[in-house]
Structure 1
């Protein structure tokens, strides 16, 4: 599979002169062969000539930036993989065992500048995705993104009916947040303006209410107010030499989970001429595309399904059973996320959500992205899920990632998340790869999602290795 880097460079070929086309093709070859240092040198040389327009220069610089992103993700040596296994699983893997893990793609690696480098979380991922590896271990399974089931059990047992047939409401949870983003000292020159977009709760989602901005680190700010798919709070600050730049905001909100009993829902025929149907059953490349791999998988999985509910059930059950959770590469370095999941047979929350959305759209079921944070006590983290539209009922939440795991002692069991969501959520995004308000000038650190924040200066984007973030939650 080609990486996102190859695709970016290929796009630059259009409209280039023959000499520039030769240079771009040379860059593409070096990237394909893993020669990142040489590719970077060629990019610098081409930009230094000053004979390409601003758009192509920006694309080349993003390609160079992407090489850096891949290097950060693939920064482990074979010795470090062995060391992690010895320390955490209490045995020493043989060379042949490591080779087998590589061949099965349980142990993810790339050859960069002639040296094999492993994904930063490749070692624990082995024991998440490879059943035979787990049999060799005496340690417990490395953690995933599934929260404690006791919270769901208690909430489900206290649900109440709503005005919509088949829909049940879970108890509300109110939370106060201090969100802090700290840019490293000297990440930019002294006096340069840092521009920061912090995540902020949406006000246009029924399951999230009582949203209130309480305080900000800077007196001047811009709140996007749900103008875009990503809700943000924008601030600026001058960098001071030798000092970190700190941005923070305090806000509060109330979240309320819900569950739809699919046996009580009567799905009316879709209005296929509606804007909603046409929008949310369409491809949106590169990450929602009806490729041969997607079509064959979706058709095979749903061959006995007839109704929209049956199609959802078939797709959900297949993904939950066949694609275990694993720590993921940065999304900006993956060319096509659903196909990556199919090929590698693993995926984190957002990866399997995109696969589910793509398969459902191909089968004519409207589906869309939703994301933010999981805010469960003691298990606060970034999280992505989906929504599926049933005519006559509306949008139904689907968290395929939480659908994976052990049994839950409630009626629907783990399949609660096939048509339900808990009350420990912070909703920030109603779509992916959207615009920002105010507009972001340079390429994003996260090209799909928006949960950690985004930072740029007057010169370029600041990637995740140049700043850190922290979410502090108080339950009320």
Structure 2
């Protein structure tokens, strides 16, 4: 296992002397307190591993919150000159502007304004930007046409060709350094076939098997010249339509490998989530109805928001349920955890939203409900449809997906089959790639990433 295995102990909690300093934003003091605990021979191994992760989190957390209040207001006023302090305060009090304490002073999330524009059409219009909507926004109409075709035909396939690359930033490159690079690849699953690696540059050190839980192409070399690491691949994605209101099919031939367990540090059956699952699914007469009620709760009540790097997130499903905000991954983890609490097997998938004019990281889920077997649910797309008032589309993403995506990961928190020596930028998922320099895992600001859809043809 790689170093990210320590994240399995993140939920152990913190000693009070560390916790007080962390919440106050005294990150240097908290790190020093952690060092004192790590120096003690009687610190239990589980706590030692948790503290090791927490110490790295303390180094990274302030990087996502660089803005003072004055700087945050100035950023908003660059786009909306009449953006008032009262408006800023109201949005902050409504939990729509994220902040933490840094040395006792409020510091604001660097993407707070992007988040407002993504989910608030009025603010986007005032800023003069095209409203992006939440996940599943369909300005071109392609998605809606595809979903209608799925319902008419029973399935739709798309052949996609994509390119991804990573590259060291010029200031990060060092001649003679040992560099390792990882990029996601489409994996084998029930919706993907005809997977082909079209080109890889430079020649790869390793390519994961198609059934790897987080599939990658991997390079390792001593770099004499700066250059990108690039892969092009093609595949066919097929989205079969399941009409949950129609006749029930015959039971599957064999039961699946049920996934009902807790999975530290995030998929945990906390008292709040147990009670929430019990309340939501009371009197539900089937696993399908239980999952539907959980999906309805998330899509109708959780507000989409950009969040800080997952490296620094803790108790993700619990936080999403308490705050009723989150991005696609947080919503997916909340759905999975509540389903498992209610006795409904559920599991993770992620990769890209892949359309002719847009390619972005995205997460979704599967759940098992007899007699249908494994079904899909995309709470984030459902949330976006609800915001747009499109109830047909919201209902579609309970039980179904679309073919305009690429799955690279079938397990949350799984390691690469060639583990990194250092910390991953995202210890749980891989959608944009990872890099390592002389054994040290690089943070996202230290390397460049790109991904694009070269062609997309509906079949």
Task: Kindly report which structure 2 residues correspond to 1:37-436, keeping only aligned pairs within 5 A, or say none.
Answer: 37-40=28-31, 62-94=53-85, 96-126=86-116, 143-148=133-138, 150-159=141-150, 168-170=154-156, 172-187=157-172, 189-202=174-187, 204-240=188-224, 244-264=226-246, 266=248, 276-277=257-258, 280-406=259-385, 412-436=392-416
Write the deviation string for residues 196-223 of structure 1: whole angstroms up to 9, x where unpaired. Answer: 1110111x21211111112211224211
With structure 2 as the length reference, what TM-score do the two structures score? Answer: 0.85
Contact 1:197 1:454 in 2 (8 A): yes
Contact 2:251 2:372 in 1 (8 A): no
With structure 1 as the length reference, what TM-score do the two structures score? Answer: 0.82
Q: Distance in 2 between matches of 1:199 and 1:7?
A: 23
Q: Distance in 2 between matches of 1:340 and 1:357?
A: 14
Q: Which range moves more in the overlay, 44-53 or 447-456?
A: 44-53
Q: Distance in 2 between matches of 1:447 and 1:295?
A: 26
Q: Distance in 2 between matches of 1:285 and 1:55?
A: 12
SS at match of 2:332: helix
Residues 1:303 and 1:237: Cα distance change in structure 2 (over 3 Å):
same
SS at match of 1:404: helix
Q: Distance in 2 between matches of 1:127 and 1:215?
A: 37
Q: Distance in 2 between matches of 1:121 and 1:104?
A: 17
Residues 1:27 and 1:425: Cα distance change in structure 2 (over 3 Å):
same
Check if 1:35 corresponds to 2:59: no
Q: Distance in 2 between matches of 1:41 and 1:56?
A: 16
Q: Which range moves more in the overlay, 388-397 or 79-88?
A: 79-88
Residues 1:138 and 1:222: Cα distance change in structure 2 (over 3 Å):
closer
Q: Distance in 2 between matches of 1:396 and 1:42?
A: 47
State the shift of 1:288 in Å: 1.1
Residues 1:129 and 1:374: Cα distance change in structure 2 (over 3 Å):
closer
SS at match of 2:59: helix
Contact 1:305 1:311 in 2 (8 A): yes
Contact 1:62 1:443 in 2 (8 A): no
Residues 1:146 and 1:103: Cα distance change in structure 2 (over 3 Å):
same
Residues 1:161 and 1:394: Cα distance change in structure 2 (over 3 Å):
farther
Q: Distance in 1 between matches of 2:131 and 2:60?
A: 28
Q: Distance in 2 between matches of 1:381 and 1:63?
A: 29
State the shift of 1:308 in Å: 1.9
Flag the structure with more relative contact order, 1 or 2, with Cα contacts below 8 A and sequence separation at least 6: 2
Residues 1:92 and 1:238: Cα distance change in structure 2 (over 3 Å):
same
Write the deviation string for residues 41-98 of structure 1: whole angstroms up to 9, x where unpaired. Answer: 666799999999999998766444322321121112212322233343453323x554
Contact 2:80 2:127 in 1 (8 A): yes
Q: Distance in 1 between matches of 2:416 and 2:216?
A: 8
Q: Distance in 1 between matches of 2:112 and 2:444?
A: 19
SS at match of 2:318: helix
Contact 1:194 1:457 in 2 (8 A): yes
Q: Distance in 1 between matches of 2:436 and 2:77?
A: 41
SS at match of 1:403: helix
Q: Which range moves more in the overlay, 44-53 or 343-352?
A: 44-53
Count residues with an aligned counterpart: 448
Q: Distance in 1 between matches of 2:203 and 2:118?
A: 46
